[in-house]
Structure 1
Amino acid sequence: MYNDFFGLKETPFTIAPDPRYLFMSERHRDALAHLLYGIGAGGGFVLLTGEVGTGKTTVCRCLLEQLPANVRLAYILNPKLNAIELMATMCDELGIEYDPKESSLKTFTDLLSGRLLDNHEQGLNTVLMIDEAQNLSVEVLEQIRLLTNLETNQKKLLQIILIGQPELQELLAKKELRQLAQRITARYHLRPLSLNETKSYLEHRLRIAGVMRPVFKGKAIKLIHKASGGIPRLINVISDRAMLGAFAENLHHVDVRTVNKAVAEVLGEKADMAESGSVINHWKWAVPTLLIGLTLGVTAWSFGLFNDSVGIQNEQTVKQNVQLSDNTETILINQQTPEFESSDNSALNTNEADSGNILEKIPKSPSELAEEFWGEQSWDRSGAIASQNLLALWGVSYLPFQSADACNFAANYSLGCDQGMADWKLLSQLNRPANLKFTTSQGGDFWGTLIEIQNQSVVMQFGENQVTIERKKLNPMWTGEYRLFWKKPAGFRDPVGVGSRGAEVIWLTNFIEMSEGITIEPDNVFSEQVADWLALFQMEHGLISDGILGKHSIMMINNSAEPSIPKLFVESLQVEN
């Protein structure tokens, strides 16, 4: 309807999984890479999970367009099947003929086994891909696992890819499915888009649809990201409705007001974003109004308009969220509103009652704070839960039973592990989410995940609870011990210096050429020129200036080279209206 108005060749924000519109954020590239790995791997399970609308099905459609010629794929879209129906559907997908009245698992297994062997002898890989796999029953999943027992001496005959919502991870964590979980060779959790990725996503879809100019104003983009939570499907729905609203009002740009209306229509709620200076504008009118109200109140009292016999008879329970300035955890308080007595001093009594209800800032002991962090949860003594939460920030699904050592597990995803003793300055400098070890006299040792730094406060996650608290409140508890993950460049194993060669050196010289605009020849040799540049870079970033490429230098480079990796400091999006 609005295509001609905006100069579009087609509607850009449909929810159909059109591979042409696939926005390849780093997360989506990694997801596709995991699926392609699954296609070529020698058997086992590959797991791709993500929230509803994050783009899992679109990634699958993109995969279908890139299938190698030697792949025979059975793609199941409706997994609400029993074991017999699943086997029959696989036969249908692979072109295996069978008696429609057949109901024997053995017969279907024999048919599939014969086809898998034939495919193997012809040099073909057979892949079973199941979408919406969280709907599979335990019995069907066990039958799927048994199919992976079909193998030769060299390889499995069937590769299985399971795609589903986060509930799939919970399903596979069941004790009765532990054998299947142990056969998962690759896992990836597709996370929502960041604010910068949301901006790029909108521009990408508009560009594919035929419009190169910006359509959404900067603050409108921020509001779309806030309302959608970075979920591509919700971004599409809100953006489509917002462009329709702009067309109806003859506006060639989508602004905050239009997006607010779209959010209210689509989600049934208002996600208002205050304009700059709105707080000042609010108080500009609120203060005179308050003064006028007080003046009228005093005048009315002086003329006897407030009668002693008038009182408040009903008692009401008020629930309010109170944010303490020196302890930023949120506390839910049930406060009883007192009955006001009828007396000559009722107004004074009311003021005294109100003043008595003001919360005093009572400092809490480290043990009391730790108790609030965990609530009713089991405390994380070993750091396994913290490792699970930290790897989730990197888009990696980790269950402690998969590997006792999270660092070894992370290495499968090209992530290095850095641990030791640090202070807030070092953690801020590295700018990576980290697991911190705490201890209290009563609670003992426990771990938490540092997610974000906000001036003098930090955002921490303890199990499923997330709290914001001032650093000084954590200092008595933090032992100084930390663990974090960082992204390794290809080929990196140990620190490298002058004379080294390899993929990690090419990675470094490519970054120098990109950031400085200078050419390094040859680009695969760690020369004196490269060492001099690195030593200066290290000095500028507060590192030991030794000209050797180690993990902390890589982290500093990745802060610029890899904008989508998780960081402690949230980067704001600067866009013009």
Structure 2
Amino acid sequence: MGFITDIPLTLYLNHFGLQREPFSIVPDPSFLYPSPQHRQAVAHLKYGLDREGGFILLTGEVGTGKTTLTRILLKSLPAHIRVAYVLNSKLESSDLLASICHELNIALSDQEGISHTKICTDAIYRDLLAAHADGKKTLIVVEEAQNLNYEVLESLRLLSNLETETHKLLHILLVGQPELLPILAKTDLRQLNQRVVARFHLQPLDKTEIANYINYRLHKAGVEQPIFNSDCVKVLYKLTDGIPRLINLVCHQSLLAAYSNSSYSVSGALLKSAATEILSDSNNRGSVGQKKWIANSLIFIFFALVCFAIYFFTKDNGNFLPIQIDLTDQESTEKSLSGDKSIPKNIEIEVNQNSDSIFSPERQLLQLWISEPLAWTTDRTYKESIDSYGLKMQSFESLNFEDLLRIDRPGIVNLVDYAGGYSVLLTKINGTELILTAEHGSRTIRYDEFIKSWDGSFKYLWKPPKGYDGLLKKGVSNRPLVDWLQSRLMLMDHEYEWVITGGHYTEAIRLRVVEFQERHQLLADGILGDQTTMMLNILTDPSIPSLRGR
């Protein structure tokens, strides 16, 4: 069966009783499936716009709905917010500034002896001041922001500095693929990264969301009865990895195939057949030469993976036993770390049966926290060992790379390939390279390779201060913890004066915590929770292991 492309749209729609095309790949805000993570993303973006200027970050894999979500945001903006939409991210700095001027209808005039960049910047500043005086806000949106070079990013950072004595004048929304995250994590871009006031990473859909996604789009297109059989969801999940754009392509081709067969429903087998066609290279479909090239490429990739696995995870490595990956009930839920409230409740950590092995990732992780050689006895469990050193293990099942950077602690990650899963210790991140440690030493892996293999899980250790039991709120009495908090604030600010509190968490200290949280892009709720405590730790204690170094 080849691609079906010559069926008149009206016949195809009438056959299924559709009023509109349900699975178009053209971004349409009215068709955006309101999944929990998409609603959360919109909330994060709106929260960023409510702040006093700065950068807002929206990232996600190709086809996860970033552009559609951006259009939803822009469509819902109040009239007093002006928007400059930059689609071409491969511009030079001066051209980008000129594009912003064009979008905001800012008139430019050549001035002898002055660079075009300065002319644009000065004109934008005057325009922003006038807009601010008129009660208006300005938002610059840059699509495909992972393509921005350093000079352009620096120009945007300088634009974000434009302010009055009391207000920032500009919001900048960067929309890009995951490759944007390690770029912003570079040391020479830390000033820009510190100006990000809200961020969100879009994940693909899980299986439950795929079923709801299909039904929602069919409903929006005017059909209430089911068209896709229940076995289609599992096939879609395996073939598209939950990427909405790929789901749309496969579903559209499946409906065309069903129409051509005079069928009013789509089976899993029909969908799989359509997916095989649509997900193959459409430029030379059906050519014998292409099929041979694909076959040879797959054979090459297969043996390359085998060589990599043998080289990195030697066959006698006891702590790298393959794990059976069961996708039947797996759900992928975004857990944002923008603040303490988003940290899940303590999870019972089910330690790998080899965690007591001398070369286990758990033991290697614990050793990073201990200066002397780790004493290891068979009558002590791993949990008892970390408890004895005053440490706590935190675990996430589905984390994005940006949040991993924010945690900034070595941890155990699970990499998945054709043979199963392998737990390794992530010890360092140097730019776009990550260092993984196993029994036979360390290996360096590129960011893009890591993202393709990492299943999102992350386990790490941290050391709570004395008296810490979860959350410290206003009015709570906890002298050891309040004293520890004030001592940390004094280490970071030599002008800080010790507040007499009687051991209570007072409003004066709460306000200092809010300032600290705002400065470090944490949820500014004034509550001393896990993320705020860990940030205080890592900024004031150089002995704490760090992924990026300090």
Q: TM-score range by the shorter chain?
A: 0.5 to 0.7
> TM-score, normalization: structure 2?
0.57
User: Secondary structure of 2:108's match?
Assistant: coil
Question: CA offset at residue 225 of structure 1?
Answer: 2.2
Cα contact 1:150–1:157 (8 A) shared by 2:
yes
Residues 1:186 and 2:211 aligned together? no
**Cα distance between partner residues in 2 of 1:449 and 1:417:** 9
Distance 1:139 1:195, change over 3 A: same
Question: In the alignment, which of 17, 24, 27 is matched to residue 27 of structure 2?
Answer: 17
Deviations 1:437-471 (A, max 9, x none): 9564356432796749xxxxxxx962655785799
Is the aligned partner of 1:63 residue 2:73? yes
Deviation at 1:144, TM superposition (A): 0.4
Aligned partners of 2:365 and 2:59: how far apart in 1?
29
The letter of the residue matching 2:13 is: N
Q: Return the alpha-carbon distance in structure 2 between the equivalents of residues 63 and 319 of structure 1.
A: 41
Matches within 5 A, 1:221-232: 221-232=233-244
Report if the CA contact (8 A) 1:44-1:159 is conserved. Answer: yes
Give the letter aligned to residue 67 of structure 2: T
The answer to whether the Cα contact below 8 Å between 1:189 and 1:396 also exists between their aligned partners in 2 is no
* Higher RCO structure (Cα 8 Å, ≥6 apart): 2
Distance in structure 1 (CA, Å) of the matches to 2:422 and 2:181: 34
Mark the CA change 1:65 to 1:50 in structure 2 (over 3 Å): closer, same or farther. same
After TM superposition, the structure 1 = structure 2 runs for residues 466-505 of structure 1, keeping only pairs within 5 Å, are none
Say whether 1:395 aligns with 2:334. yes
Matches of residues 521-540 of structure 1 in structure 2 within 5 Å?
A: none
Taking the aligned partners of 2:236 and 2:35, their CA distance within structure 1 comes to: 18
Q: Aligned residue for 1:94?
A: 104
Pick one of 13, 17, 22 that aligns with 1:7. Answer: 17
Q: Provide the residue aligned with 2:179 in structure 1.
A: 167
Q: Based on CA coordinates, which of the two structures has the bigger radius of gyration?
A: 1
Task: Determine whether 1:264 maps to 2:264.
Answer: no
- Choose from 56, 59, 63 the match for 1:46: 56
Is the 8 Å Cα contact of residues 110 and 119 (structure 2) preserved in structure 1? no
Deviation at 1:161, TM superposition (A): 0.8
Contact 1:419 1:483 in 2 (8 A): no
Q: Which amino acid aligns with 1:414?
A: K
**Aligned mate of 2:90, from 80, 99, 117:** 80
Q: Give the one of 150, 163, 179 matched to 1:151.
A: 163
Corresponding letter in the other structure for 1:4:
N
User: Percent sequence identity over matched residues?
Assistant: 38
Q: Aligned with 1:97: secondary structure?
A: coil
Q: Report the counterpart of residue 147 of structure 2 in structure 1.
A: 135
Please list the CA deviations of residues 253-311 of structure 1 after superposition, one character each: whole Å capped at 9, or x if unmatched.
Answer: 00022112211110129xxxxxxxxxxxxxxxxxxxxxxxxxxxxxxxxxxxxxxxxxx
5+ long unaligned stretches in structure 1: 270-316, 322-328, 335-361, 374-391, 398-409, 428-434, 453-459, 472-476, 485-491, 496-550, 552-577
What SS class does the counterpart of residue 257 from structure 1 fall into? helix
- 1:108 equivalent in alignment to 2:123: no
Q: CA deviation at 1:369?
A: 2.8
Q: CA deviation at 1:39?
A: 2.2
Give the conservation status (yes or no) of the 8 Å contact 2:45–2:199. no
**Per-residue deviation, 1:483:** 6.8
Which position in structure 2 is the counterpart of 1:369?
A: 318
> How far apart in 2 are the matches of 1:318 and 1:40?
52
Separation of aligned partners in 2, 1:436 and 1:38: 44
Quote the Cα distance in structure 1 between the aligned partners of 2:353 and 2:140: 41
Could you tell me which amino acid in structure 2 is paired with residue 369 of structure 1? G
2:245 is aligned to 233
Alignment of 1:252 onto 2:264: yes
Structure 2 match to 1:122 = 134
Tell me how far 1:103 sits from its aligned partner: 4.8
Q: Does 1:446 align with 2:365?
A: yes
Q: 2:343 aligns with which of 416, 431, 442?
A: 416
User: 2 CA distance for matches of 1:188 and 1:450?
Assistant: 17
Distance in 1 between the 2:349 and 2:332 partners? Answer: 22
Say which SS state the counterpart of residue 446 (structure 1) adopts.
helix
Q: Aligned pair count?
A: 351
- Counterparts of 1:100 and 1:318 in 2: how far apart (Å)? 57
After superposition, the Cα gap between the structure-2 partners of 1:464 and 1:184, relative to the gap in structure 1 and judged at 3 Å, is farther
Closer, same or farther in 2 for the Cα pair 1:100/1:231, shift >3 Å?
A: farther
TM-superposed CA distance for 1:43, in Å, is 1.1
Query: Is there any run of 5+ residues in structure 2 with no aligned partner, and where?
Result: 1-8, 282-298, 323-330, 367-393, 399-410, 424-438, 440-457, 462-469, 474-528, 530-550
Alpha-carbon spacing, 1:100–1:21, altered in 2? closer, same or farther (3 Å): farther
User: Structure 1 CA distance, aligned partners of 2:253 and 2:120?
Assistant: 49
CA pair 168-469 structure 1, distance change in 2 beyond 3 A? closer
Helix, strand or coil: the match of 2:365?
A: strand
SS state of the match for residue 85, structure 2?
A: strand
Equivalent pair of 1:172/1:180 in contact (CA under 8 Å): yes
Q: CA 1:44/1:190 → structure 2, altered by over 3 Å: closer, same or farther?
A: same
For residues 151 and 10 of structure 1, what CA distance do their matches in structure 2 show? 47
Q: Is the 8 A contact 1:439 1:446 kept in 2?
A: no
Cα deviation, residue 119, structure 1: 1.1
Answer yes or no: is the 8 Å Cα contact 1:132–1:163 preserved in 2: yes
Could you say which residue in structure 2 is the equivalent of 1:208? 220
Aligned to 2:378: none
